[in-house]
Amino acid sequence: MEFERLLQEQAPLEAYTEWVESIVDRCVLQYAQRRRLPLRTAIRQFLMIWIAFGSRLLREMTAQAAPGFGTFHLMRIMFDDYFLYLVELLHIDERAGELMRNIQIDIPPEYPDTDYEGNH
């Protein structure tokens, strides 16, 4: 498990952010492409699973009075925020792409020989 390895190696913060980015790539982007799902659907599915898994893990740690609960809870908050940031960026990119595809450039018919820079 990648996360366990990062913990054992006492990896720097950058390693955890790369791990989060790789999860978003595999579990959202690649998943949406393989299944031919809208990105929004893949994001929703991922977030539901991520939140359910994290909540269950925290519940188990609480029930067992795990000594690392506080640290893990803070890490989860950081991961949640970073995941939300990344999927929000994906959503914004998708919306910008849709907007660009829907923009049509109309050249007025009175200037048919003019290029975009105004040259004749």
CA-closest candidate to residue 97, choices 24, 18, 38, 11: 38
pLDDT tens, position by position, for the chain (120 residues)?
888 899 899 999 999 999 999 999 999 999 999 999 999 999 999 999 999 999 999 999 999 998 888 888 998 999 999 999 999 998 898 888 888 878 766 666 665 565 555 555
CB 111 within 8 Å of CB 104 = no
Helices (H) and strands (E) counted in the chain, each on its own, are: 5, 0
What kind and span of H or E run contains 1? none
User: Any idea what DSSP says for residue 30?
Assistant: I
Q: Which residue bears the tokens 């910008």?
A: 96
Does the predicted TM-score (pTM) go above 0.75?
no
